[in-house]
Amino acid sequence: MFKKLRSYSKYIIIIIVAAMVITGIYYGIGRFGNVSIRDLEVAVVNGKSILYQDYYNYTRQNLLGVSLTRAQEMPVRYQLLNTMINTELVFQEADKLGIKEKVTEEDIDEYLNEYLEYFQMTEEELKKELEKDKKSIADFRKDVRTVLGSNSRIEQVQELAYADVHVTEQEIINEYEEIKLQLIEKAFAEDKEKAEQSIKEALMKINEGSDFAVIAEEYSDFYTVEPGMFSRKNSLLPDDITEKAFSLEIGQLSEIIEDESSYYLIKILDKKLAEGEEYEEAKEELRENLLKEKQQEAFTEWLLKLREESEIIIKDPLLSGYHGLVNGDYEFAISELEKALEEGYVYPMTYAYLSQAYLNNEQIEKAIEAYDRAIENYPEDWELYYNYGMMLYTLEVPYQEKALSMLDNASAFAGEDIIAHYQLYIAYLQFGESEKAEYERNRINEINEKMMELQE
């Protein structure tokens, strides 16, 4: 029913390279004290500013109603900023191409009708709601025109970006066809000669009349004897092996197939071919879905290239440091995250990201020092102790005792947080500390019992 409403928003969503629909907490604005954020820049895109005020409003609109874990906050904030950057890039491209808005009164009428239907209200009821904010239907229609106008420009840029995309008959066939097979796989990473001997023995026994499935159970390295029905897209096998499997007929046994890492024997049990009435009925829908998929891929590639050719500066040091961290520029990330701490971004995850940047930059002592600084500021934060312990656990033997101590501190400050105790339970099992793991399991049971009592 709300297909049209969804279509109006999809153009904003699609420009995110990795789309995330998630809500949560915004932090960081407070660092400016009494200074107005209205004219401060969070980023600059080809000389055009993205202001903190706009970013703040955008995050408020999108991060509403659902809490995030601490670890989710920065990835989401960073993704929202990327969305604003991508949107700005698309609008700049639309300006270069002279693309104008295409919105008719009929479009606005249709949106208004969909809106009323969605919220199950009449136009009179909407009018009364708007009057509470000292607005009119005319104001509402003006706002709708602005949104639809922006989306129409984005849509026109998209259409130009994937104008040459089309779907071939072979692509539809490849999407439709499926096979069911039995498989024997022998990897030869350690001993190719032994693997070759083993696969030849398997083939000989099958040719002598032994059941393929029985021989597969005895010889195959594959995790299951019968992977089931699959297409080329969801095949668990390498592409070239998958294509060879599709070339076999039902009941046919392959010769020994070799790739760069394994030997294979394949027997086809069933096959769904791109033919007949069922295929003809499915063909058009497959074509449409494939076209949409390829168009989105083409637009994403176009957008990535546009980003590479553009000058994008993230002015916020915390977001900039996180950008450096996720993109592998650890020296830059360290510089920006240290700057963020100096400028007042003294949050647990700032230290965590700084520690990770130092660790990835092979500065272990600096990584440890970052967590020690965090503990000084947040001496009762169980999650900091937990993350610190798990980081130490990845290092050499001398750090293992301190890692265990950090987990013990995390347990002491975890209180009634059942998720915390579950994470600690798993961590202690990893450490081989069965008694401590048992303690955490008992704490989980105690908290569960309390919760059940409260519910009753």
- Would you say residue 170 lies in a domain? no
Residue 207 is predicted with a pLDDT of: 94
Instruction: Please determine, for residue 16, whether its predicted confidence score (pLDDT) is greater than 50.
Output: no
Instruction: Please determine, for residue 124, whether its predicted confidence score (pLDDT) is greater than 90.
Output: yes
- Would you say residue 87 lies in a domain? yes
Secondary element (H or E) of residue 369: helix 364-377
Collapsing DSSP to helix, strand or coil, 181 comes out as strand
Domain that holds residue 49: 3-161
Residue 324 sits in the same domain as residue 236: no
Q: What CATH number is associated with residue 183?
A: 3.10.50.40
Instruction: Please determine, for residue 192, whether its predicted confidence score (pLDDT) is greater than 70.
Output: yes
Residue 140 sits in the same domain as residue 223: no
Residue 18 sits in the same domain as residue 147: yes
Residue 20 is predicted with a pLDDT of: 27
Residue 53 sits in the same domain as residue 80: yes
Q: Which of 15-24, 210-219, 421-430 has the highest mean pLDDT?
A: 421-430
Q: What is the largest CA-CA distance in the chain?
A: 87
Residue 141 sits in the same domain as residue 214: no
Q: pLDDT of 32-54, one tens digit each?
A: 333 445 568 999 999 999 999 99
In angstroms, the Cα distances linking 403 to 225, 274, 441 are 42, 58, 20
Residue 136 is predicted with a pLDDT of: 94
Q: What CATH number is associated with residue 372?
A: 1.25.40.10
Instruction: Please determine, for residue 98, whether its predicted confidence score (pLDDT) is greater than 60.
Output: yes
- Would you say residue 198 lies in a domain? yes
Phi-psi map region of 62: left, alpha, beta (phi>0 left; psi -120 to 50 alpha): alpha
Residue 438 sits in the same domain as residue 383: yes
Instruction: Please determine, for residue 92, whether its predicted confidence score (pLDDT) is greater than 60.
Output: yes
Backbone angles phi, psi at 119, to 5 degrees: -90, 5
- Would you say residue 299 lies in a domain? no
Residue 154 sits in the same domain as residue 85: yes
| Residue-wise burial string across 370-387, b where 16 or more C-beta atoms lie within 10 A, e elsewhere | bbebbbeebeebbbbbbb
Residue 62 sits in the same domain as residue 107: yes
Residue 276 is predicted with a pLDDT of: 92
- Please, where are the H alpha helices in 119-261? 123-132, 137-161, 169-176, 192-207, 212-219, 239-246
Residue 141 is predicted with a pLDDT of: 95
Domain final residue, candidates 241, 256, 272: 272
Domain final residue, candidates 243, 272, 301: 272
Instruction: Please determine, for residue 155, whether its predicted confidence score (pLDDT) is greater than 80.
Output: yes
Q: pLDDT of 331-342, one tens digit each?
A: 999 999 999 999
Residue 251 sits in the same domain as residue 322: no
Pick the range with the lowest mean pLDDT from 62-76, 102-116, 142-156.
62-76
Residue 191 is predicted with a pLDDT of: 86
- Would you say residue 450 lies in a domain? yes
Domain final residue, candidates 104, 133, 161: 161
Residue 121 sits in the same domain as residue 205: no
Q: Residue 233: which pLDDT band, with cuts at 50, 70 and 90?
A: confident
Per-residue pLDDT, averaged over 333-360, amounts to 96
| pLDDT more than 90, % of the chain | 78
Per-residue pLDDT, averaged over 239-266, amounts to 93
Instruction: Please determine, for residue 296, whether its predicted confidence score (pLDDT) is greater than 90.
Output: yes
- Would you say residue 226 lies in a domain? yes
Residue 2 is predicted with a pLDDT of: 29
Q: Residue 8: which pLDDT band, with cuts at 50, 70 and 90?
A: very low
Q: Residue 455: which pLDDT band, with cuts at 50, 70 and 90?
A: confident
Q: What CATH number is associated with residue 132?
A: 1.10.4030.10
- Would you say residue 283 lies in a domain? no
Per-residue pLDDT, averaged over 414-443, amounts to 95
Mean pLDDT of the chain: 88
Residue 346 sits in the same domain as residue 449: yes
Q: pLDDT of 265-280, one tens digit each?
A: 999 999 999 999 999 9
Give the span between the Cα atoms of 392 and 401, in whole angstroms.
Answer: 9
- What is the number of structural domains in the chain? 3
- Would you say residue 301 lies in a domain? no
DSSP tag of 446: H
Residue 80 sits in the same domain as residue 201: no
Q: Residue 227: which pLDDT band, with cuts at 50, 70 and 90?
A: low
Residue 223 is predicted with a pLDDT of: 53
Residue 69 is predicted with a pLDDT of: 85
Is pLDDT larger for residue 100 or for residue 69? 100
